[in-house]
Amino acid sequence: MVLDFGDDSSKSISIEVNKAFSTISNLGLPLLNIIPSFNKIVIIFENSEIRDQNIEKITNEMNEIKPQSHKSSNKSWIIPACYDESFALDLKIIQKLHQTTKEEIINLHSSESYYTYYIGFMPGFPYLGDIPSQLITPRLATPRIKIPARSIGIAKNHTCIYPKVSPGGWNIIGQIPFDIFDLQNPNPSLFLPGDKVSFYSVNHKEFQQIQKKHFSINELIKEFSS
């Protein structure tokens, strides 16, 4: 079953998607997966019998969602980010493209509160947006084979964090000092669809101090979210 919210990747559509996602998740239906993306939710049933029994239930529920009745369990995050040259592999390209300074890019990136559209591409990878228009940058023409774990990337009007080493085409502008996906935790992903995420700039020394603490997901929630 596919729920289609319109042909657009706007934030207002995504807010509707994520509301519907949490409503469906809380119905307690025997579903294998509920996969939200920018403008759609794909629902996977265990078998066609369960599908036929529940399509109507979900459709009715969707018609009843009222914006004011939705209680958000989403978190607001303030995440330390180090934009040092040793991490910001593509900062020079962005500086050149936008004819601006390193400081201005850092200011712009850390001035916004981003919306978590959805988690995808790899375990725990958040699609965040929208970045200030002065930072909008196309993907790399040739994707990197190895992006370091915890790298912050930007591409088009989105920013992201790579949970672990991965190939990828986003422009890398910094790094965060901890892991955002923990397989040992029953809730393995630090970020959930609908969360608000902002970054604050830390220097290399502060970065290392936080890194040394090896925060668990539960400690990160206490330390960096509200």
Partner 1 sequence: MNSLVITRTGTHLTIQDFGRFHYQHLGVSPSGAMDQRIIKELEKIIPLHHNQFIEFAYVGPSIKVKEGSIKVCVGGNCNMNIQKNNGTQIICQPYKSINLFEGDELNIHNTIDSVYGYIAVEHGLGLDPCLKSFSTDTKAGIGSINRPLKVDDTFEILEDVSSWDHLSIPNPAYKKETNFKVYPGPQLQFFTDQALQSFISSTYTISAQSDRMGIRLKGEAILSSESHDILSEGILPGSIQVPSDGQPIVLMRDIPCTGGYPKIAILNEQDISKISQLSPGSQITFDLQTIY
Taking CB under 8 A as the criterion, the residue among 189, 195, 197, 220 binding partner 1 is: 189
CB nearer partner 1, residue 148 or residue 188: 188
> Residue 123 interacts with partner 1 (CB under 8 A)?
yes
* Residue 86 neighbours by CB distance under 10 Å: 9
* Residue 48 neighbours by CB distance under 10 Å: 8
* Residue 119 neighbours by CB distance under 10 Å: 23
Among 32, 39, 27, 30, CA closest to 2: 39
Residues that contact partner 1, how many (by CB under 8 A): 31
> Residue 120 interacts with partner 1 (CB under 8 A)?
yes
Side chain identity at residue 120, one-letter code: G
Taking CB under 8 A as the criterion, the residue among 11, 75, 98, 164 binding partner 1 is: 164
| Binding to partner 1, residues 44-83 (CB under 8 A) | 44
Count Cβ neighbours within 10 Å for each residue of 128-162 and write b for 16 or more, e otherwise: bbbbeeebbbeebeeebeebebbbbbbbeebbbbb
> Residue 169 interacts with partner 1 (CB under 8 A)?
no
> Residue 151 interacts with partner 1 (CB under 8 A)?
no
> Residue 153 interacts with partner 1 (CB under 8 A)?
no
Least distance (Å) from partner 1 to the CB of residue 14? 11
Least distance (Å) from partner 1 to the CB of residue 191? 9
